[in-house]
A = this chain, B = another copy of it.
Amino acid sequence: MDMATMNKLMECATFANCYPRDVVFRQGDPATHFYSVLSGYVRLFRQNSEGREADIRVCGPGDSFADELIFGGDTYEYHAQAADKAMLARYDINRVRNAAQADDGMLARAIAGSLAGQLQETMDCIANDRLNTAVQRVALYLLEQAEGQESPASFRLAFQKSLLAGKLGLAPEALSRAFATLKGLGVHVHGRIIEIEDMDALRAL
């Protein structure tokens, strides 16, 4: 995105500080804004009529959400809740829609690029859910986080384990069981610090 486009978008923005568990919007609310995450994490989840929740996505710095509504849709289709202290930019959907109609296509291309990335990510998520066991999902996530490191690798989880469980489509107990299984393969968990003795052992799962 060039500076002119960025400035056009910034004219439609306000900023919001969120505290852990703050509701950003509710499923079914009229859609008035979309968001981008400047810092922290936001959890997107769907709730069914009995109140059961399913996580759809965890958004971190650089991610945007609800921007799929710029080109249509008048209610939010999921809940968004701060999972952490988070700083968000908040864009008026109508103003961005009008700006995207009026400019020479730069803004529409930027939005399309963002939506394309999110679509790829959500398709990955479906495939991952459907192809991989709980242990494989966790191993894959750890390998992604340790990318570029040699064995033994070590890093800090970006967010708390309950959020990680939801992101991977697992109940918290299923995540605990997966970590217990991975312990046998040399994965050590100390709070949010993860140590992987042998990355190849995880790759072979």
Kindly identify, within residues 25 to 43 of chain A, every residue whose CB is under 8 Å from any CB belonging to chain B. none
Contact A123:B122 (CB < 8 A) given known A104-B104, A104-B105: yes
Main SS class of interface, A: helix
Q: Count residues on chain A whose CB falls below 8 Å from chain B CBs.
A: 46
- In the assembled complex, how far is the CB of residue A150 from the closest CB belonging to chain B, in whole angstroms? 22
- In the assembled complex, how far is the CB of residue A47 from the closest CB belonging to chain B, in whole angstroms? 9
Q: Complex Cα distance A120/B72, Å?
A: 11
- In the assembled complex, how far is the CB of residue A114 from the closest CB belonging to chain B, in whole angstroms? 9
B52–A131 touching, CB < 8 Å: yes
Give the 8 A-B CB pairs with smallest separation, nearest first: A105-B105, A54-B130, A108-B108, A46-B127, A112-B112, A71-B113, A115-B115, A68-B116
